[in-house]
Amino acid sequence: MLLQIHPKDPQDRLIKQVAETLRNGGIIVYPTDTIYGFGCDIYQTKAVEQICRIKQIDPKKAQLSFVCCDLSHLSDFARQISNTTYRVLKDHLPGPYTFILPASKQVPKILQSKKDTIGLRIPDNKIALSLVKELDHPILSTTLPGDFVEDYTDPEIIYEKYKNLVDIVIDGGPGGSVPSTIINCVNDDYEVIRQGAGKWE
């Protein structure tokens, strides 16, 4: 299903519909403040496995992010965050960044990576934030497979490509073509793993 949701003023009814799909183990393609990505409920193991199958990746080795609506979930899924790191997150989020942090024991088993880390993301996008708020816990998120091609900026083209693999493609207007900047914050000497849309000094 291709679902048009207003990017600035997401319709409550449609947000509730998508959140219900996620709770029931559905997979969506949805907009962020950078590029469109796959999303599912972090607690729906079969949905996580299906996304990894689509991308042909191992969930334990994959670069999967937790999309949150604010920093209140931080202590649930990340551990031992220094005050300095917390300030860095506060200064840069919401925004086009993914921060790699030490994972806590509350991260669902299927997502516990060998590196024992998670990627945390709070995109500056009303649709994404409304969905997480409605779901009341993070969405597992990952980029669409392949290169960051122009096709991925157009929800209708994305729908044609993935309509048989996902439950809902959200049309929230044209997407970007540059992914988020990934910063490793496991230690306090922050390292840029991928330079993307977010500037990093």
- Measured over the CA atoms of residue 173, residue 64, residue 54 and residue 180, the dihedral's sign is positive
Give the bridge partners for 158, in sequence order: none
pTM over 0.75: yes
Task: Find residue 191's DSSP bridge partners.
Answer: 184
* Neighbour tally for 61: CB within 10 Å: 11
149 token code pair = 């091609």
Side-chain-side CA neighbours of residue 172 (13 Å): 29
Domain 2-194 coded CATH 3.90.870.10: yes
**Per-residue pLDDT reduced to its tens digit, 56-106:** 988 777 778 999 999 988 889 998 889 999 999 999 999 999 999 999 988
3-state secondary structure of 128: helix
